Amino acid sequence: MSMTAFRAVLVLCGVLIVFLGLNVALGGIPTMGWLDERPFLLVTDEEQYRMIDNHVRFFGGLFAAAGLFLIFAASNPVRFTQGILLVLAAIFIGGMARFSAPDPSVVLAAEIVNSLAAELVLMPLLAVWLLRLGRI
């Protein structure tokens, strides 16, 4: 597969990750609603909620930054191999962390399974593709 195709896929992944990250970074726990989420939260301790919401926003910002890095790294993927692999590995590990949920059936729910597939299948495939491109 070509370097051009890899760059395009990397940019598309980066754009999606930025979108998802900003949805959380700007919207906190309830998100901005860009994915059509329903209201799901009843806050019983406002002070604790604000602190946890702030942490969630931080993680959303980190996720958006990872997406921005992928977009940037698409300019020269071989040069940025280590950074790209780090981001791909972090997303893979995040996908694995989903299995720590108290109710494992949620992991295979229709709303989650596409994300899980991207995290556990697409990220390793991109890593292998990148490593092969580096050998050419």
Residue 38 pLDDT more than 80?
A: no
- Cα 30 from Cα 117, distance rounded (Å): 24
Please identify which residue in the block is written with the tokens 């309830």: 30
Q: What share of the chain is helix, strand, coil (3-state, %, to 5)?
A: 75, 0, 25
Q: What is the mean pLDDT of residues 70-90?
A: 97
Distance separating the N- and C-terminal Cα atoms of the chain? 11
Q: What is the mean pLDDT of residues 54-62?
A: 96
pLDDT for position 57: 95
Share of the chain above pLDDT 70, in %: 99
How many other CB atoms are found less than 10 A from the CB of residue 75?
A: 11
Q: What is the mean pLDDT of residues 8-17?
A: 97
Residue 1 pLDDT more than 80?
A: no
Stretch among 19-28, 30-39, 105-114 having the lowest mean pLDDT: 30-39
Q: What is the mean pLDDT of residues 66-83?
A: 97
Q: What is the mean pLDDT of residues 69-89?
A: 97
More confident residue, 74 or 42: 74
Give the pTM: 0.89
Residue 43 pLDDT more than 90?
A: no
Q: What is the mean pLDDT of residues 4-10?
A: 97
- Cα 107 from Cα 60, distance rounded (Å): 20
Residue 136 pLDDT more than 80?
A: no
